[in-house]
Amino acid sequence: MDPHIQSYKKLGGVLGVLLVLTAITVGVSRLDLGSLSLWVAMVIAGMKSALVLLFFMHLKYESWLIRGSFLMTIGVLALFIGFMFWDVAFR
């Protein structure tokens, strides 16, 4: 059993940052960044999901097995999407 009880204050703080990031991603999407805008949106979404994972889902306090296998899953998905582009991007 992990001994880390997260205080309401800390969880509230995380929620605050998440809401701020949401506002930022909406604001940035109004700017004309061309093809960059998708990447910016994805980076911000990645930051948000990292916060949810680390604090709400306690990934920060989990064993190497869960942290490692989670990264592996994301890696596999990234490879699946990436390798698809060997086809789609070069048609």
Partner 1 sequence: MGSHQDTVGARIGMWLFLYTEIMLFGGLFVLYGAYYRIHAVEFIGTGQELDMVLGCVNTVILLVSSFFVAASVTAVRRNSTKGAMAFLAGAVLLGGLFLLNKYFEWGHKFHLGIYPGSPGLGESPPGRIVFYGLYFTITGLHAFHIVMGMVLLIVCIAMTGLGRIQKERFLLLENCGLYWHLVDLIWIFIFPLFYLIL
Partner 2 sequence: MTSFYHTPFPARFRGVWAWLLTLDHKRIALLYLGAVMFWFIIAIVLGFLVRMELMTPGRTIMGAETYNAAFTLHGVIMIFLFVIPAMPAIFGNFLLPIQIGTDDVFFPKLNLLSWYLYMLGGVLAIVSLFADGPPDTGWTFYVPFSVSTQTNVGLTVTAAFTLGLSSMLTGLNFITTVHRMRVPGMGWLQIPLFTWSLYATAWVQLLATPVLSITLLLVVFERVFGTGLFDPARGGDPVLYQHLFWMYSHPAVYIMILPGMGVISEIIPVFSRKSIFGYKAIVGSSLGIATAGSLVWAHHMFTSGMSDVAVFVFSFLTFIVAIPSAIKVFSWVSTMYKGSILMTPPLFFALCFIYLFSVGGLTGLVLGSAGTNIQVHDTHFVVAHFHFVMFGGTGFSFFAALHFWWPKIFGRMYDFKRAYLSALLIVTGFMLHYVPMFILGLQGMPRRYHDYLEQFAPGNLFAGLGALIMVPGLFLMVINLMMSLKQPVDAPADPWGGTTLEWSVPSPPPLHNFIERPSPGEYPYDFSRVGTP
| Inter-residue contact 28 to 87 (CB < 8 Å) | no
Closest-CA residue to 39 (of 50, 55, 49, 28): 28
- With CB under 5 to 8 Å by kind, the binding choice for 79 among partner 1, partner 2, none is partner 2
Stretch that binds partner 2, among 8-16, 25-33, 51-59, 73-81 (CB under 8 A): 73-81
Closest-CA residue to 43 (of 58, 29, 59, 63): 29
Grouping H, G, I as helix, E, B as strand and the rest as coil, residue 7 is coil
- With CB under 5 to 8 Å by kind, the binding choice for 20 among partner 1, partner 2, none is none
Closest-CA residue to 59 (of 14, 20, 13): 14
The residue within the footprint of partner 1, chosen from 24, 36, 60, 63 (CB under 8 A), is 63
Beta-strand (E) ranges in 1-91? none
Q: Write out the residues near partner 1 by the rule CB under 8 A.
A: 1, 5-8, 11-12, 14-15, 18-19, 22, 25-26, 29-30, 37-38, 41-42, 44-45, 48-49, 52-53, 55-58, 62-63, 65-66, 69-70, 73-74, 76-77, 80-81, 84-85, 88-89
